[in-house]
Chains A and B, each alone.
Chain A
Amino acid sequence: MIHFFQVYKTYPGTIKALANISFKIEKGEFVFVTGPSGAGKTTLLKLIIRAERPDRGEILVNKRNVSRLKNSQIPMLRRTIGFVFQDFKLLNNKTVYDNVALVLRAVGHNKREIPKRVRQVLRVVGLEDWVLRQFPLKLSGGEQQRVAIARALINTPSLILADEPTGNLDPELTVEIMNLLQKVNTLGTTVVVATHNTNLVSQYQKRTIPLYRGKMAA
């Protein structure tokens, strides 16, 4: 599914974000990328979706070499990946329905099927129809993150990347969201969660890719 082979990434100003990173994630796995702030977790996720390009090394995602992907091919790669952010990144001036439907509109999905598909995916993440016409700021943090996960899932991606998805949530909501991600994983989607929360990692007993100052920790 994902294969990093001796990947290096340095940002301008010679800040080494990642150095000599190699790992493999199989299809259907649930993996934590762990490490403190500045360890390179977000950079790693950005490399997977080709928001960044590695300086050296190869990255394979769904058998595509993303480090050599042409710019015009990037949208096709991203349509197979769902992304969840710590700060949800919902559009506060749009309703929940529009936030989720935006993805299908962007990829040119059949217009007539969009409402049905949005309702389905909101049910999967445990939200009822009443939230459809609500604006994100009217919802709780946990509900907002559920909407964000619904947005990531709506295009039936084979991979979900979550960057500190519980970073803004209290412990109770954290469990809810993690359970939801697990549920998504059991439905066959590969899930990669980047987190600095060691309690969370120990609680869920999943494979981890530990990073420290841009390197794979022992």
Chain B
Amino acid sequence: MAMLTLIRRTFGVMKENGPSHVLSIGTIAVAFFLFAAFLLLPLNFASFLEAWEKKVQIILYLKDGVEEQRILQLKGELQKEEGIREVRYISQRTARESFERDLAGYGGILKGLKEEIFPASFEITMEEHFRTPARIRSLASKLSTIKEAEEVQYGGLWLERFSLFLYILRWSVWILGGVLIIIIISVTANTVRLTLYNKKTEIEILKLVGATDAFVKLPFYLEGGLQGLLGAGGAIVLLLAVFRFFFHKVSPYISLYFGQLRLSFLPPNMIGWILGIGVVSGLLGGLLSLRKAA
């Protein structure tokens, strides 16, 4: 019963100062939206990276004049190598035909090119668990020691840069999170302070007639907590709407280039944490302003 009265008083306090509450809940929601979006990005970039890694191949270009028997032997050796799933030999002729096929529109220009200028190569596909930047780099480096290897190519640099970007992004989330929590505390504290100012006489009278500290202050703490909760909740709903739009309208186009993306929204425990951070930082905001003002 007392709890019900307290909740009613809290909503009463918020209703009386409606526009500033809407404004501060909106500000908190924007701050949380950025935070949640930054949490969502690495989560899905990881799946993007995974999708891209599936397409990663190592191409081992052979020197000219390697004998056919040695080629067969090398193919056998490569297939036995740990982490390699498939090895496909591309002869000089196949390479030229493929090149011609790819540039068919240029017609006669390609005529006269000799197949000797196209190096023979092995296209190597790796086992799934081997498709990490570190393992691909290490395998490529090992393959480059083969005597007959002219050059070993893989999308390594791009992959490594992307991994680094992901790593920085993950750290940025925490830094941004810290900054956002400070913003949320300060926004809530200021709104609660404004409410306190508006209700100065009421608080004075309540104290004078013998209301306990808890009776006077609890609605203001709850006000802060509720603002944080509503702000964080609003941000999650907004992010879900943006995510759904991206999932249905944008991701099919990206999938065309990078294969099927496994996009996922924030898991329930992470949503719980965000709402929890909202409530706690809102309460802290209320606590801060009450310590100074009441």
A67 at the interface (CB under 8 A from B): no
B97 at the interface (CB under 8 A from A): no
Contact with B along A96-120 (1 / 0, CB 8 A): 0000001101111000000000000
Question: How big is chain A's contact interface, by range?
Answer: 20 to 34
Stretch of A23-31, A36-44, A75-83, A172-180 on the interface side:
A75-83
- CB neighbours (8 Å) of A71 from chain B are 213
**Bound complex: CA A51 to CA B202 (Å):** 16
**Bound complex: CA A77 to CA B208 (Å):** 10
- CB neighbours (8 Å) of A144 from chain B are none
Indicate if the CB atoms of B206 and A49 lie closer than 8 Å. no
**Bound complex: CA A91 to CA B201 (Å):** 7
- CB neighbours (8 Å) of B215 from chain A are 106, 108
Indicate if the CB atoms of B208 and A155 lie closer than 8 Å. no
Min CB distance, A181 to chain B, in Å?
18
Indicate if the CB atoms of B212 and A75 lie closer than 8 Å. yes
Indicate if the CB atoms of A76 and B205 lie closer than 8 Å. no
Min CB distance, B255 to chain A, in Å?
58
Contact with B along A6-37 (1 / 0, CB 8 A): 00000000000000000000000000000000
B16 at the interface (CB under 8 A from A): yes
CB nearest neighbor in A for B5: A105
**Bound complex: CA A93 to CA B201 (Å):** 11
CB nearest neighbor in B for A154: B209
Indicate if the CB atoms of A106 and B201 lie closer than 8 Å. no
- CB neighbours (8 Å) of B211 from chain A are 75, 106-107
A89 at the interface (CB under 8 A from B): yes
* Given A75-B211, A106-B215, A107-B211, A89 contacting B206 (CB threshold 8 A): no
- CB neighbours (8 Å) of B210 from chain A are 75-79, 106-107, 155
* Given A93-B16, A106-B215, A83 contacting B208 (CB threshold 8 A): yes
**Bound complex: CA A93 to CA B215 (Å):** 20
* Given A89-B201, A89-B204, A91-B201, A106 contacting B16 (CB threshold 8 A): no
Number of A-B contacts (CB under 8 A): 47
**Bound complex: CA A108 to CA B212 (Å):** 10
* Given A93-B16, A106-B215, A155 contacting B201 (CB threshold 8 A): no
Indicate if the CB atoms of A155 and B202 lie closer than 8 Å. no
- CB neighbours (8 Å) of B16 from chain A are 93
- CB neighbours (8 Å) of A75 from chain B are 207, 210-213
- CB neighbours (8 Å) of B206 from chain A are 102, 106
CB nearest neighbor in A for B208: A83
Indicate if the CB atoms of B208 and A49 lie closer than 8 Å. yes
**Bound complex: CA A83 to CA B209 (Å):** 8
**Bound complex: CA A51 to CA B204 (Å):** 10
Min CB distance, B5 to chain A, in Å?
8
Indicate if the CB atoms of A155 and B209 lie closer than 8 Å. yes
**Bound complex: CA A188 to CA B207 (Å):** 25
Indicate if the CB atoms of B209 and A107 lie closer than 8 Å. yes
Interface centre among B5, B205, B209, B212 (most CB of A within 10 A): B209
- CB neighbours (8 Å) of B209 from chain A are 78-79, 83, 102-103, 106-107, 151, 155
- CB neighbours (8 Å) of A72 from chain B are 212-213
Indicate if the CB atoms of B212 and A102 lie closer than 8 Å. no
- CB neighbours (8 Å) of B2 from chain A are 108
Indicate if the CB atoms of B205 and A89 lie closer than 8 Å. yes
Min CB distance, B140 to chain A, in Å?
72
Residues of B181-240 at the interface with A, using a CB-CB cut-off of 8 Å, are 201-202, 204-213, 215
**Bound complex: CA A151 to CA B204 (Å):** 14
Interface residues of A (CB under 8 A from B): 49, 51, 71-72, 75-79, 83, 89, 91, 93, 102-103, 105-108, 151, 155
Q: List 11 A-B contacts (CB under 8 A).
A: A75-B207, A75-B213, A77-B210, A78-B208, A83-B208, A89-B201, A102-B202, A102-B206, A106-B209, A106-B210, A151-B205
Can you name 16 extra interface pairs (CB under 8 A) apart from A102-B206, A106-B206?
A49-B208, A75-B207, A75-B211, A77-B210, A78-B209, A83-B208, A89-B201, A91-B205, A102-B202, A102-B209, A103-B209, A106-B210, A106-B211, A107-B211, A108-B2, A108-B215
